[in-house]
Amino acid sequence: MYIKRKFPFSGMIKWTRRDIYKFIIIGIIPVFLYKGLGLYWLHLPWLPIGVVGTAVAFIVSFKNNASYDRLWEARKIYGGIVNSSRSFTLMVNDFISNKHAKNPLSKDELFTIRKEMVMRHVACMTSLRHALRQHKPWEGSRTDKSFREYMQKIEVQEWAYSLEEQLDGYVSEAEKEEILAQKNKQAACLNLQSRHLNKLMELGLIENFRHMEMQNLLTEFFTLQGKAERIKNFPYPRQFATLNYLFVWIFILLLPLGMMYEFEKIGMSVVHDIQEHMKTHYSPIHAVVEFIGKYFIWVSVPFTVIVSWIFHTMERIGETTENPFEGNPNDIPITTMSRGIEIDIRQMIGDNPELIPGPVKPQLDIQL
């Protein structure tokens, strides 16, 4: 996700430059056929095109609102994971004690248990973010040339490293093998946490009520995980996305046929007025204005490009927003947030500061 206060306009132009080239060609061809080859029948009245444009604007607005809702829900889900992780660590700190222990442990032994549970939770978040970064067939960013070009300069941890590599140091080899053997690896991590809690309760390191409270938080993690997986695994309905794209391009192709005719009428009006004025008074300026009026139709090309760019870019923004976990620069920065959670919870249990990793640094002003 971009962290600059405003999205740089130059970046937006670079991101959409291939589309702009298409719009220039689409704007030039009808004008050339109309003015250059004399196909004066090749035009449409502006009214039906305006109606189509209004309908497309409503459709694009609907898609963008729905896409933003998916993005904002994803952000709230991961925010819930942040809050619940801190609450869980608070309970690990305060609930695991010798108060009801059958065989009291030393402070170092209690710290080892707490750290084991916290590190396993980090492993759970690592498994979740790797699952959320997996490519789905309907996610189009990796097939987009502009996206691939931009992402060559950026390292996405979930794509650069395997889950097996990133679990090192967070869980034991036996637990790592068990996690990797499961299809839903984040659920496997939570299952390990639950088993560990049961073991601690049997040893008297957690009494029944506190065990129940911690189990409730594990249930909350399952709920948040399921919500994130729902967004990841259920795309924005394809019928809406496909028709949206189709309607925008229909409007873009019709646009120059009406735009050029409107500019042609303006130019001819100017030419007529100048010719009437030149009957009584002639000056070189009049001749220049008359020349401009005759070719004023070509001014429709940049205006066609501008209007097409606005509609198409709004549709594209909605398309890139609808999958908030795929790794797009404007997606939820789950890698950065997960590292932030790890730093917080490891500091809460009093872990060695030298062993705690630093924050994930932005790349090209992007949080990932």
Lowest mean pLDDT across 56-65, 93-102, 201-210, 267-276 = 267-276
**What is residue 275's predicted lDDT score, i.e. its pLDDT?**
65
**C-alpha separations of 331 from 39, 133, 227, 245, 252 in Å:** 47, 11, 16, 21, 28
**What is residue 279's predicted lDDT score, i.e. its pLDDT?**
60
**What is residue 103's predicted lDDT score, i.e. its pLDDT?**
86
Q: 140 CB contacts (<8 Å, ≥6 apart)?
A: 319
**What is residue 93's predicted lDDT score, i.e. its pLDDT?**
93
Residue 335 has pLDDT above 80, yes or no: yes
CA 42/CA 241 separation, integer angstroms = 31
**C-alpha separations of 351 from 85, 269, 319, 342 in Å:** 16, 79, 43, 11
- State CA 303 to chain mean position distance: 30
The pLDDT of 164-188, averaged and rounded, is 95
Q: Which residues of 226-260 are buried (b: 16+ CB within 10 A; e: fewer)?
A: ebbbebbeeebeeeebeebbebbbebbebbbbbbb
Torsion of CA 73, 75, 77, 80, to 10 degrees: -140
**What is residue 140's predicted lDDT score, i.e. its pLDDT?**
73
Q: 276 CB contacts (<8 Å, ≥6 apart)?
A: none
CA atoms within 13 A of residue 271's CA, in its CB half-sphere? 13
* Residues 131/232, Cβ–Cβ less than 8 Å: yes
Structure tokens belonging to residue 170: 């967070």
Structure confidence by residue, pLDDT tens digits, 186-212: 999 999 999 999 999 999 999 899 999
Considering only CA atoms, which of 361, 317, 332 is closest in space to residue 11?
Answer: 317
Using DSSP's 3-state secondary structure scheme, residue 26 falls into: helix
Structure tokens belonging to residue 192: 């390990």
pLDDT band at residue 163, thresholds of 50, 70 and 90?
Answer: very high
- Average pLDDT of the chain? 88
**What is residue 278's predicted lDDT score, i.e. its pLDDT?**
63
pLDDT band at residue 363, thresholds of 50, 70 and 90?
Answer: confident
pLDDT band at residue 281, thresholds of 50, 70 and 90?
Answer: low
Q: What are phi and psi of 359, to 5 degrees?
A: -60, 155
Structure confidence by residue, pLDDT tens digits, 81-137: 999 999 999 999 999 989 888 889 999 999 999 999 999 999 999 999 999 999 888
The pLDDT of 155-165, averaged and rounded, is 91
pTM: 0.87
**What is residue 263's predicted lDDT score, i.e. its pLDDT?**
87
Torsion of CA 160, 165, 166, 172, to 10 degrees: 170
Phi-psi region of 204 (alpha: psi -120 to 50; beta: other; left: phi over 0): left
Bridge partner list, 168: 171
Residue 252 has pLDDT above 80, yes or no: yes
Residue 280 has pLDDT above 70, yes or no: no
**What is residue 294's predicted lDDT score, i.e. its pLDDT?**
77
